A = this chain, B = another copy of it.
Amino acid sequence: MEYKIGTGARCAVIGYGSWATAIVGLLAANGQRVGWYVRNPEVLESLRTEGRNPRYLSDLEFDRDRIAPSDDLDGVVHDADIVILATPSAYLKDFLAPLTVPLRDKFIVSAIKGIVPGDYQTVVEYIHDHYGLSYKQIGLFTGPSHAEEVSRGKLSYLTVVCTDPGNAQRIGEKFAGGNIRLSYSTDLYGIEYGAILKNIYALAVGLAVGLGYGDNFLAVLIANSAGEMTRFLEESYPDKRDTQVSAYLGDLLVTCYSVYSRNRRLGLLIGHGCTVKSALNEMTMVAEGYFAADCIRHINARHKVDMPIAETVYRVLYEGAPARRSMQELTTKLI
């Protein structure tokens, strides 16, 4: 089935975290009224009365005429043509559980960089399988994007990915604005898996930092991570793709070098000597890389790509392999 997004298509955003809030900010700045599913009563109330999300990016003030926050998921989805998913991947199923309105005539955009825990599926694959949607009506919105920088108007490059370039353009127009540069791609598989893999690599970087490795080694680890990502994409789903651009390598770099990354923090705690269990308990939210490491290993059992870095992270997180010795073994496999 072809699916063509019209110029007047209405958008709705699902989620109320920092990335969801930044996305609503971009859409609203473009003059649209944005549907916004917010299931948290405190956040909802504050958005309605003050035009502010008190939990995330609380500096960002919305024009209240341009947002339509609501805790009625069916209503929000019903009124939208493009539904943008921006929840943590771990809670996606939970967020969508109340939905009874069918999605078959909607275009779904995932702004989630992660996998759906328990199903060994990416968000795109999950939406495709679980809701019976064609890949032609699912897209991605991604890029190296600390939400804080996007919302403060720092120049950011975002990529819209759809199998149909016309649809990507339609979606991109909704986000176009002063400090956003848009790129377009049709590589739904590669960009989604790249974004998932980078969380595993940020976790590996955290492990290395926690274990006391220096900047020389981090650069080697991250360069080899970029190579491992490219290799995985090319061997599991060959395509003409250049990974040395913002949506792949750029996203990897911003995550691996960010001291704020949850994935890096999880690795850091374990590298410092925490058990995996106590490190997970320390985190207020589970790092995406934790689920991704398990999922990628499961998927790669089929492709058999040589992935020493992802494999090391998996063994430390899931098989009780000691972090120090595992990282030492990994150092012999990098070039």
Contacts and interface: CB of A to CB of B under 8 A. Distances in A.
* Copies in the assembly, this chain: 2
Interface residues of A, number: 44
User: Which residue, of A149, A183, A215, has the highest number of chain B Cβ atoms within 10 A?
Assistant: A215
A145 B254 contact: no
Nearest to A260: B215
Interface string A244-272: 11101111111001100000000000000
A218 B146 CA distance: 12
Interface in A29-44: none
A245 B223 contact: yes
Interface in A210-238: 213-220, 222-224, 226-227, 230
Contact of A215 (B183, B252, B258): B258
A181 interface: yes
Nearest to A224: B245
Contacts of A152: 214
Contact of A155 (B146, B217, B230, B335): B217
Interface in A155-183: 155-157, 181, 183
Nearest to A226: B244
A332 interface: yes
A321 interface: no
Contact of A214 (B154, B227, B244, B252): B154
B257 A219 contact: yes
A150 interface: yes
A41 B138 CA distance: 70
A248 B227 CA distance: 11
A2 interface: no
Given A157-B216, A216-B156, A217-B157, A181 B331 contact: yes
B246 A144 contact: no
Contacts of A254: 215-216, 218-219
A146 B244 CA distance: 24
A154 B227 contact: no
Contacts of A144: 215-216, 219-220, 223
A52 to B, nearest CB: 22
Contact of A157 (B181, B220, B242, B250): B220
Interface string A318-335: 000000000000011011
A155 B216 CA distance: 7
B157 A334 contact: yes
A201 to B, nearest CB: 12
